[in-house]
Structure 1
């Protein structure tokens, strides 16, 4: 069977892609289809998140790479088949690409159909809207975020007294080090 998804970028504007992919393909295959459909270079980390019917509650994270403490213990996108995660009842999932820019997508299973002869899957069925040059940075203050707001003003000229940690005393006793510790 072929699963047809609508992948919606979390922006005020309508930006989405419709993708068809085989049900036995992995979530990593879906990740690659989304990356290609939106024109990303594919060099950033990403994760899928299972969620509730309203996309409001993120649940289990399914990362692109094993990020667990013990190698091989955490399952990744490559180990999950699409039909094991998504079906007619559980038809929504969240996808986040590039954790610095937080490109967030709502992925919804729209249809399950028979494969078409001669079509190579995954297949980009429809594209609507242009991807913004920069991701929509989340601003939790609801105020414009400028570089000065993020980093403040820096004094490029620093005096020696800015680095005077010991007030002229070269003893490290206050820090628990012996004078000749090495």
Structure 2
């Protein structure tokens, strides 16, 4: 493999098709893939982002982060884009990858490996552009128009799947219920 050709589709509920075909050297890191993917749509690339390896159903798998988020915990470290090479994660001829950019506005890009190039490109490049990309600031974060809306909440889980049961908490408590705890001397 000398070059990897990916189709990068900007996920949206709108009926317009917006995608870019990009070609990267097979020696490219995920950081290279991230930069060309974001630049191809005219985005600045100044927000946090993660890739998720995926399957034919677009399920989220292994995460690859833009920044090291391990905080020194090497045992639970997540691969970092700059140190992780795309070719090492290609498991299928049509490998699918999800890119989540800006965890507030939740821009979601769907990447699919669509071909291999015989010649190695000198640098990542955009081979085809279809559709007009929206402005990066056109999404507020409150009105996510992604077809994946609700699947990627702040903590990566659906609200109803809260493992600690916090979503079952009864917010209708009464101050009188806790009146016996008014004095610290009671402890």
- TM-score normalised to structure 1 length: 0.70
Which whole-Å CA distance do the structure 1 matches of 2:104 and 2:48 have between them? 9
Whose Rg is larger? 1
Shift of 1:35: 1.4
TM-score, with normalisation over the residues of structure 2?
0.68
What is the DSSP-based 3-state SS (H/G/I as helix, E as strand, rest coil) of the residue aligned with 2:27?
Answer: coil
Q: Please give the secondary structure, in 1, of the residue aligned with 2:88.
A: helix
SS in 2 for 1:137: coil
Ranges of 4+ aligned residues in structure 1 off by more than 4 Å? 138-141
- The separation in 2 between residues aligned to 1:176 and 1:68, in whole angstroms, is 39
**Residue 182 of structure 2: aligned partner:** 174
> Unaligned regions of 5+ residues in structure 2, if any?
151-180
Quickly say closer, same or farther: Cα 1:174–1:68, change in 2 above 3 A: same
Equivalent residue in structure 2 for 1:23, among 26, 30, 38: 26
Equivalent residue runs for 1:55-66 within 5 Å: 55=58, 57-66=59-68
1:53 and 1:17 map into 2 onto residues whose CA distance is 20
In structure 2, the residue matched to 1:101 is: 105
Counterpart in the other structure of 1:151? none
Structure-1 residue corresponding to 2:134: 132
The structure richer in helix per residue is 2
Contact kept? 2:54, 2:95, Cα under 8 Å? no
Q: Return the match for 2:39 from 20, 31, 36.
A: 36
1:111 is matched with: 115
**CA RMSD across the alignment:** 2.4
Matched-pair contact (CA < 8 Å) for 1:87–1:109: no
Separation in structure 2 between the aligned mates of residue 125 and residue 7 of structure 1, nearest angstrom: 11
Correspondences of 1:43-62 after superposition (within 5 Å): 43-55=46-58, 57-62=59-64
Equivalent position SS for 2:45 = coil
Tell me the CA shift for residue 49 of structure 1: 0.3
Q: Distance in 2 between matches of 1:70 and 1:90?
A: 35
Looking at structure 1, the residues matched to 91 and 26 of structure 2 have their Cα atoms a distance apart, in angstroms, of 9
CA contact (8 A) 2:55 2:95 kept: no
Deviation track 1:18-70 (CA, whole Å, cap 9, x = no partner) reads 10000111000000101111111111000000112121x11111110111232
